[in-house]
Amino acid sequence: MKILLNNRLEEFSKEPISINEMLELKKFSFKMRIIKLNGVLIPKEKYDSTFIHEGDNVNMLYLMSGG
């Protein structure tokens, strides 16, 4: 399936995949992040139970300490 990840086209070999599977496949290991799926913020407790489908728009933002 093809999805948009931070406005870039990404392809995965199966559909659907959970958010946690996507993070593992992409080797995104930094833990402090915000993820929005089709404009809706997904809390991290739901990364296993929320699935990404063909054509979905995923946005990710890393949160760095310092201010």
Partner 1 sequence: MKFSEIKNHLALFRVGIAGAGGLGSNCAVALARCGVGTLVLSDFDVIEPANLNRQYYFTNQVGMFKTTALKDNIARINPDITVIAHTEKLNESNIFEIFEGCDVVVEAFDKDEMKEMLIETVQTKMPGTPVVVGSGLAGWGKSNRISYRKIDETLYVCGDESTVAGDEFPPMAPRVGMVANMQANTVVEILMKKTKDYFQT
List residues binding partner 1 (CB under 8 A): 32-34, 36, 39, 41, 43, 59, 61-67
Exposure string for 1-35, b = 16+ CB within 10 A, e = fewer: eebebeeeeeebeeeebebebbbeeeeeeeeeeeb
Closer to partner 1 by Cβ: residue 15 or 57: 57
Least spacing, CB of residue 40 vs partner 1, in Å? 9
Contacts of 43 (CB under 8 A, 6+ apart): none
Closer to partner 1 by Cβ: residue 33 or 53: 33
Least spacing, CB of residue 2 vs partner 1, in Å? 20
